[in-house]
């Protein structure tokens, strides 16, 4: 069985950590970088918006779980993600740019983000996540199926910890799942309990409210 020991989230007005009971309002994104990342993140500005939101949520979730990262050491933590439209907006951005050039010039830095795994890969590179990395499009809405799949990856012994991310351009949430035996320290909640919350709604604010209630 797996447990959830950290949940980080961000939307256009607020960000927070569920286990720590942290909820911060913000108006200017300029200050987010320093407040959310404990270590320097030089390349954050060149990432696309989904990747940036994914990295914010991952940083908050790791902090919530009390998991350290460093810029030169990697850990066998996996990352699985989903969102509402895959990489559709990045696809449009890339191909529009290509068509606008008269179909002669295509830009690699736009093409890269046409893979739905790219935001997860950006997070893996920065946080040193060396475990399984995959994106899923699920038939059921919401994050419940994502959490179940992340839990199954741990149960099957593929890795000992997984980050499950639902990230779009405007908002993102990240759950830290670990093996049950890893939870001797800090607050945690069973995967079943959080999955039950996520099953009831696909709205991020409602998921977070439900998770806060489940953890208390």
Partner 1 sequence: MEGRRISPSRITPVRKKGHNWVKAVIVSCDMVTAYGQGTDACWKGILSGKTAISRLNRFNTRAFQSDYAATVKNLRYLQKDSLVKQMLKSLFSKTSALIPKDAKLILATTKGEIDLLEKKMITGAGDVSNCSLGHLPGKVSDLAGVKDTGIIISAACASSTTAIARAAAMVRSRLTDCVLVVACDSITEFVFSGFSSLMALDGFVARPFDKNRSGLSLGEAAAFAVIMSESRAKREKREMIGEIAGWGLSDDANHMTGPSRDSEGLILAIKKALKTACVKEREVGFISAHGTGTVYNDAMEIRAFRAVFKNEKTPVYSVKGGIGHTIGAAGLVETIIALRALKERKVPPTVNLEDVDNDALGWVSPGQHPAEENKKALITNAGFGGINAALVLA
Residues 99-118 that bind partner 1 (CB under 8 A): 99, 103-108, 111-112, 114-118
Q: How far is the CB of 178 from partner 1 (least distance, A)?
A: 7
Closer to partner 1 by Cβ: residue 176 or 204 = 176
User: Given candidates 159, 175, 198, 215, which one binds partner 1 under the rule CB under 8 A?
Assistant: 159
Closer to partner 1 by Cβ: residue 129 or 189 = 129
The rounded distance, in Å, linking the Cα atoms of 53 and 146 is: 18
Q: b vs e for 6-45, b when ≥16 Cβ sit within 10 Å of the residue's Cβ?
A: bbbbbbeeebbbbbbeeeeeeeeeeebbeebbeeebeebe
User: Given candidates 11, 32, 49, 160, which one binds partner 1 under the rule CB under 8 A?
Assistant: 160
The rounded distance, in Å, linking the Cα atoms of 167 and 10 is: 9
Q: How far is the CB of 171 from partner 1 (least distance, A)?
A: 18
63 binds partner 1 (CB under 8 A): yes
134 binds partner 1 (CB under 8 A): yes
What are phi and psi for residue 9, nearest 5 degrees?
-150, 160
Give the chain's radius of gyration (CA, Å). 17
129 binds partner 1 (CB under 8 A): yes
């Amino acid at each position: 069985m797996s447990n959830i020991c950290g949940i980080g989230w961000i939307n256009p007005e607020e960000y927070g950590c569920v286990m720590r009971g942290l909820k911060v309002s913000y108006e200017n994104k300029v200050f987010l970088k320093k407040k959310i990342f404990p270590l320097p993140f030089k390349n954050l500005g060149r990432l696309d918006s989904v990747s940036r939101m994914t990295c914010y949520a991952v940083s908050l979730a790791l902090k919530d779980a009390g998991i350290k990262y460093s810029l030169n050491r990697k850990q066998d933590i996996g990352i699985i993600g989903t969102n509402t439209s895959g990489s559709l907006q990045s696809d449009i951005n890339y191909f529009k740019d290509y068509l606008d050039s008269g179909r002669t010039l295509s830009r690699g830095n736009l093409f890269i983000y046409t893979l739905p795994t790219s935001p997860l890969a950006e997070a893996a590179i920065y946080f040193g996540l060396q475990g399984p990395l995959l994106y899923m499009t699920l038939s059921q809405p919401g994050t419940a199926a994502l959490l179940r799949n992340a839990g199954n990856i741990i149960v099957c012994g593929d890795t000992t910890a997984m980050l499950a991310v639902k990230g779009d351009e405007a908002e993102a949430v990240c759950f830290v799942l670990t093996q049950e035996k890893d939870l001797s320290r800090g607050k945690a909640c069973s995967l079943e309990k959080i999955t039950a919350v996520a099953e009831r709604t696909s709205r991020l604010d409602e998921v977070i409210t439900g998770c806060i209630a489940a953890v208390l």
